[in-house]
């Protein structure tokens, strides 16, 4: 677009020079007619030449004017075409980046859903849930969960609750004093308690949790069942407290944009209502993003629209959660870039 503009500018400068030369030619032709009239019969031939020069001058002026009009029209058409291409490239690229972000999150969180179903069958966890108040069994389960946390640093803590919702043991007792607390009202506990087998899991999306001193977490939960069998009698619920910001903020903040783009771009993960769950601008859980055409855009797998945000036109690129294996967050990835 810049080269197109430069070409038009240089063309118009050249046309101006031609016009200046043509005006000089016109003046010379006019002077020639005056001189030919002054000297009479002897100047008749010179008068004919002067007249032809005047005709040529007018034709050059008309051609110059036509060329300027064509150049202006062509330049406008070219700019519109290039603008459409630029918009298309921007929208496609940002939508692909948005898809990459949500896909990374889906794939990572799929593993979390596998972790909780696996660890709920751990012998130490099952024994502690079965024996309930046995200090030895609870201590062993706490140490076992601590060993898991040493290897899986993506978690704040693991907590084992009885069927009544009271926390029996956790993997980081020195850091988080959650034993004895009541989690029966938490969505993750309630969802897990309603599952029909150990192959299913409960979930609570992004929220500040007392189990991690108010940090933003996701919690995945699975019933602990007798004998570690997926169809065994329910003995309790295991909840794994995931470090949400460590994943989500890393993903949005490392979106591959240029330094110049970052000055006018915001990258977010939002839920279906537009509630901000992760945000390169740092406003997680503080606002909902809304704009004209949001609902229609969210129904697409990916795409982009131009919309007004805070009084400025933005390219808003979107990708819906594609899911991975049997898991999908159902969330949306947004990249908002002002134009």
Beta carbons within 10 angstroms of residue 272's beta carbon: 12
Give yes or no: residues 209 and 139 share one domain. yes
**pLDDT at residue number 221:** 98
**pLDDT at residue number 208:** 97
DSSP 166: B
- The answer on pLDDT for 43 being more than 70 is no
Q: Do the domain assignments include residue 233?
A: yes
Integer Rg of the chain from CA = 37
Q: Which residue has the higher pLDDT, 15 or 156?
A: 156
Give yes or no: residues 178 and 284 share one domain. no
- Domains: count for the chain: 3
Do the beta carbons of residue 273 and residue 289 sit within 8 Å? no
Identify the band that residue 117 occupies on the pLDDT scale cut at 50, 70 and 90: very high
What CATH number does the domain containing 64 carry?
A: 1.10.287.950
Do the beta carbons of residue 126 and residue 226 sit within 8 Å? yes
Q: Which residue has the higher pLDDT, 15 or 258?
A: 258
In the numeric block, the tokens 């991690």 are attached to 212
DSSP for 36-63, please give it: HHHHGGGGHHHHHHHHHHHHHHHHHHHH
Q: Which residue has the higher pLDDT, 9 or 197?
A: 197
Give yes or no: residues 233 and 175 share one domain. yes
Do the beta carbons of residue 190 and residue 157 sit within 8 Å? no
Give yes or no: residues 238 and 261 share one domain. no
Q: Do the domain assignments include residue 106?
A: no
**pLDDT at residue number 20:** 83
- The answer on pLDDT for 42 being more than 70 is no
Boundary-marking domain end, from 67, 85, 103: 85
Count, residues in the chain: 339
Do the beta carbons of residue 328 and residue 322 sit within 8 Å? yes
0.85 surpassed by pTM:
no
Distance separating alpha carbons of residues 259 and 149, to the nearest angstrom: 37
Q: Which domain holds residue 290?
A: 256-338
- The answer on pLDDT for 232 being more than 70 is yes
Give yes or no: residues 293 and 322 share one domain. yes
Q: What is the mean pLDDT of residues 238-264?
A: 97
Give yes or no: residues 243 and 268 share one domain. no
């Amino acid at each position: 677009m810049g080269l197109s503009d430069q070409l038009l500018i240089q063309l118009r400068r050249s046309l101006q020079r031609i016009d200046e030369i043509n005006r000089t030619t016109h003046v010379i032709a006019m002077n020639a007619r005056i001189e030919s009239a002054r000297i009479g019969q002897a100047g008749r031939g010179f008068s004919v030449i002067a007249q032809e020069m005047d005709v040529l001058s007018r034709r050059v002026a008309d051609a110059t004017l036509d060329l300027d009009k064509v150049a202006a029209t062509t330049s406008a058409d070219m700019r519109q075409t290039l603008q459409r291409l630029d918009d298309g490239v921007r929208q496609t690229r940002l939508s692909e980046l948005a898809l990459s972000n949500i896909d990374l999150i889906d794939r990572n969180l799929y593993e979390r859903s596998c972790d909780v179903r696996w660890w709920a069958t751990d012998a130490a966890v099952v024994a502690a849930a079965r024996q309930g108040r046995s200090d030895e069994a609870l201590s062993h389960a706490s140490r076992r969960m601590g060993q898991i946390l040493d290897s899986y640093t993506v978690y704040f803590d693991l907590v084992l609750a009885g069927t009544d919702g009271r926390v029996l043991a956790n993997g980081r007792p020195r850091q988080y004093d959650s034993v004895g607390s009541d989690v029966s009202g938490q969505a993750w506990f309630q969802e897990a308690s309603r599952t029909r087998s150990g192959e299913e899991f409960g979930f609570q999306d992004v929220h500040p949790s007392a189990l991690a001193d108010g940090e933003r977490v996701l919690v995945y939960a699975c019933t602990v069942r007798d004998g570690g069998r997926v169809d065994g009698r329910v003995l309790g619920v295991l909840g794994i407290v995931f470090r949400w910001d460590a994943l989500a903020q890393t993903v949005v903040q490392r979106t591959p944009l240029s330094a110049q783009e970052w000055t006018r771009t915001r990258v977010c993960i939002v839920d279906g209502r537009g509630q901000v769950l992760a945000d390169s601008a740092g406003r997680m859980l503080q606002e909902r993003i809304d704009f004209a055409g949001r609902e229609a855009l969210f129904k697409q797998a990916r795409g982009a629209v131009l919309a007004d945000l805070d009084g400025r036109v933005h390219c808003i690129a979107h990708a819906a959660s594609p899911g991975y294996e049997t898991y999908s967050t159902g969330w949306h990835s947004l990249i908002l870039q002002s134009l």
